Amino acid sequence: MIHDDVREVFVDEKEIQQICKRLGEEISRDYEGKEILALVILKGSMVFAADLIRYISVPLRLDFMQASSYGDGTKSTGIIKIKKDMDNSAEGKHIIIIEDIIDSGNTLFNIHKLLEDRGAASVNICTFLSKPSRREIDVDVKYIGKEVPDEFLVGYGLDFAENYRSLPYVGVLKPQVYAKI
């Protein structure tokens, strides 16, 4: 059933699982013979990461980082705040940053640079959704689940002011819901 605040379903549950399987298989091929550190960017990416890692067959360790440039708004402020840093050292690790959606690119660009500065052996980005029309900064994304148009998307971990994360699909939020901001 579609939520009252959602205009339409953009990515349904079946397509979500197909995307996770495809990305997990690509990562497994690319990292054959290596151990990876899957760095999940909280909070939104945890739902995608939980499904994705089930399809990754190479050894992996899991860590988390919480960073934001949005607050409760709909546009990036451009200022990155790291609210929770990773527990493991990045030094010498093959890191895959797992993100739910890349919009402006500011957050991922800064996290990528931070991990390189910390001595990671390699750093690649895997995102469930990519919104290239909103890029403010060029960020190299190796694994993209699906490119999306400039719509405000919620569900499957994606939120608006901490709401809608538990929807089992990705939907387009009705503009009147966020127009108050």
The residues annotated as belonging to the active site are 103
Give every strand in the sheet of 81-84, ordered side by side.
81-84, 60-68, 36-42, 94-102, 122-130, 143-147
Q: Helices (DSSP H) in 31-131: which residue ranges?
A: 45-52, 106-117
Residue 143, SS3? strand
- Centre a 10 Å sphere on the Cβ of residue 28 and count the other Cβ atoms it contains: 15
178 closest CA partner among 147, 154, 155, 156: 154
Where do we find the tokens 């399809």? Answer: 55
Phi-psi region of 26 (alpha: psi -120 to 50; beta: other; left: phi over 0): alpha
In which element (H, E) is residue 14 found? Answer: helix 13-30
